[in-house]
A = this chain, B = another copy of it.
């Protein structure tokens, strides 16, 4: 385990959705954070740039500044498309190693596979930790169901990067607030950074994704009896649908919560790919689950951040009528209506 406190490198993109790792760790994590390193936003606080990052973490211009504030670990806080370590990030990583800091990253490009970084880390006696690397003893799923008393709720999405993880974390937090033995089950590198356990399923050998999901549910069942399993990708995102489906079939959920960004009409970055209407999307998720394990979509979790409040409330009502299940924005209006549906009749 790397040392605290940490600094989070976002390299000019702290206000971008690709900085979701940084945002998640600031918002939901429990580790000490002394700084965000982002030249473009330096001098402000995290909360000033991204209001929902409520902690007043200072943003500094350089890794050296963060080291000066006592940072012992640099966390790469970006998840760029494709997950490569680009030149800008790499320069920050090198600077951190030279300053005697451990480095954590959840990229596809592994720190451990970069001989120069490994050599530098050895020279400076610091640790390189790749959050995305899974256990080395994974198997295909065995097919054993989780204990019957455990309820598995899985967050799926209409698209990537629309807030599935936030929905999952908020529902778990709210369930615990209501006294439930609830567990957030992390399936990506940010979730692992936040919760301290989990498997980043998108970095596994493709054949082992479903087996990893089955193991996560089994491990989650040892920690509690309501499991909120974070989804990955989207069933109709052409780059990530395979991971989405492997996770879905491996986790064998009892219920699905569909996350959607209100107003979105196409897959992000793919204006040639219209999103199916929500009722069709719900039907598609339910149909693809059914032969393995029936799992109804019990609620729609809308991200209404692009709408004014009145429009957001109207959109939630419209979606409820259209889809016939409770809808809401867990961040803006609270998790209660969706949580009730997620917990089921005995919730």
Give chain A's interface residues, CB within 8 Å of chain B.
Answer: 81-83, 108, 139-141, 143, 201-207, 209-211, 235-236, 238-247, 249-250, 252, 270, 272-276, 284, 287-288, 291-292
A236 CA to B244 CA, complexed, in Å: 14
Asked whether A246 lies within 8 Å of B249 as measured between CB atoms, the reply is no
Q: What is the CB-to-nearest-CB distance from A278 to chain B, in angstroms, rounded to a whole number?
A: 13
From known contacts A82-B139, A82-B140, A139-B82, infer whether A242 and B209 are also in contact, taking CB-CB under 8 Å.
yes
Asked whether B240 lies within 8 Å of A207 as measured between CB atoms, the reply is yes
A sample of 26 cross-chain residue pairs with beta-carbon separation below 8 angstroms, ordered by A number, consists of A143-B272, A201-B206, A202-B205, A202-B206, A202-B207, A203-B205, A203-B206, A205-B206, A206-B206, A206-B209, A206-B246, A207-B240, A210-B238, A210-B242, A211-B239, A235-B288, A238-B252, A238-B292, A241-B246, A242-B242, A242-B244, A245-B245, A273-B291, A276-B291, A284-B288, A287-B287
Q: What is the CB-to-nearest-CB distance from A256 to chain B, in angstroms, rounded to a whole number?
A: 16
From known contacts A203-B207, A204-B205, A207-B108, infer whether A249 and B243 are also in contact, taking CB-CB under 8 Å.
no
A205 CA to B113 CA, complexed, in Å: 15
Asked whether A243 lies within 8 Å of B143 as measured between CB atoms, the reply is no
Name the residue of chain B whose CB is nearest to the CB of A247.
B242
B residues in contact with A81, CB < 8 Å: 140
Asked whether A141 lies within 8 Å of B247 as measured between CB atoms, the reply is no
Asked whether B205 lies within 8 Å of A236 as measured between CB atoms, the reply is no
Name the residue of chain B whose CB is nearest to the CB of A237.
B249
Asked whether B141 lies within 8 Å of A238 as measured between CB atoms, the reply is yes
A291 CA to B285 CA, complexed, in Å: 13
A291 CA to B244 CA, complexed, in Å: 15
Name the residue of chain B whose CB is nearest to the CB of A140.
B239
Asked whether A236 lies within 8 Å of B292 as measured between CB atoms, the reply is yes
A242 CA to B248 CA, complexed, in Å: 9
Asked whether A288 lies within 8 Å of B291 as measured between CB atoms, the reply is no
Q: What is the CB-to-nearest-CB distance from A235 to chain B, in angstroms, rounded to a whole number?
A: 8
B residues in contact with A139, CB < 8 Å: 82
Q: What is the CB-to-nearest-CB distance from A215 to chain B, in angstroms, rounded to a whole number?
A: 13
Q: Contacting A291 at CB < 8 Å: which of B239, B242, B274? A: B274
Name the residue of chain B whose CB is nearest to the CB of A283.
B287
A165 CA to B291 CA, complexed, in Å: 24
B residues in contact with A292, CB < 8 Å: 236, 238, 241, 273
A275 CA to B83 CA, complexed, in Å: 37
Name the residue of chain B whose CB is nearest to the CB of A84.
B139
B residues in contact with A204, CB < 8 Å: 205-206
A203 CA to B272 CA, complexed, in Å: 30
Q: What is the CB-to-nearest-CB distance from A231 to chain B, in angstroms, rounded to a whole number?
A: 13
Q: What is the CB-to-nearest-CB distance from A202 to chain B, in angstroms, rounded to a whole number?
A: 4
Q: What is the CB-to-nearest-CB distance from A285 to chain B, in angstroms, rounded to a whole number?
A: 11
Q: What is the CB-to-nearest-CB distance from A322 to chain B, in angstroms, rounded to a whole number?
A: 18
From known contacts A238-B143, A288-B284, infer whether A243 and B203 are also in contact, taking CB-CB under 8 Å.
no
Q: What is the CB-to-nearest-CB distance from A129 to chain B, in angstroms, rounded to a whole number?
A: 18
A238-B292, A273-B291 known; 18 other A-B pairs, CB under 8 Å?
A: A82-B139, A141-B239, A143-B238, A201-B206, A203-B205, A203-B206, A205-B205, A207-B240, A210-B239, A211-B239, A238-B249, A241-B245, A241-B246, A242-B246, A244-B245, A275-B291, A284-B288, A288-B288
